[in-house]
Amino acid sequence: MPLFMTEAKFTEETLGLMTTRPSDRPDAVAKVIEAHGGKLQNFYWVFGDTDVVFTYEARNNETALAILMALSNGDAVAFHKTRVLISNKEAMAAMRRAGRVKTGYTWPRREWEGWIDEGGEG
């Protein structure tokens, strides 16, 4: 199953409320992910531009988007950023495939070999 990583920033109001009424967010997030057939892998609070980072499995992009829409509903999240995580095994297979499949693509540098700028193009 594909693996995703989401970084999220809570609103200032939400963070303020959590100081007076702590909320166990990993359990809440896990319930949403599991309701969509996925699984929460890790959940961390972090310093910096975001407040939390979590990784999770989801069947596909559509499922991941549904999870994110459900989690972002209710004005508690200021923004989130999600990435698909690719294992090293998958990356190695992609590298081999990129070198093996003939596409006819020419790199710009190769197209420009021997070209001399004589000016006057504008």
Which of these, 25, 3, 21, 5, lies nearest to 13 by C-alpha position? 21
In a domain, 109, yes or no: no
Q: What is the pTM of this model?
A: 0.81
In a domain, 112, yes or no: no
For 22-58, how does the pLDDT look when each residue is reduced to its tens digit (9 = 90+)? 999 999 999 999 999 999 999 999 999 999 999 999 9
Tally of structural domains, the chain: 1
In a domain, 23, yes or no: yes
Show the domain range for 24.
3-102
In a domain, 113, yes or no: no
Specify the CATH number for the domain of residue 40: 3.30.70.920
In a domain, 16, yes or no: yes
Give the C-alpha separation, 27 to 3, whole Å: 19
For 70-106, how does the pLDDT look when each residue is reduced to its tens digit (9 = 90+)? 999 888 999 999 999 999 999 999 999 999 999 888 8
Contact 80, 6 (CB under 8 A): yes
In a domain, 40, yes or no: yes
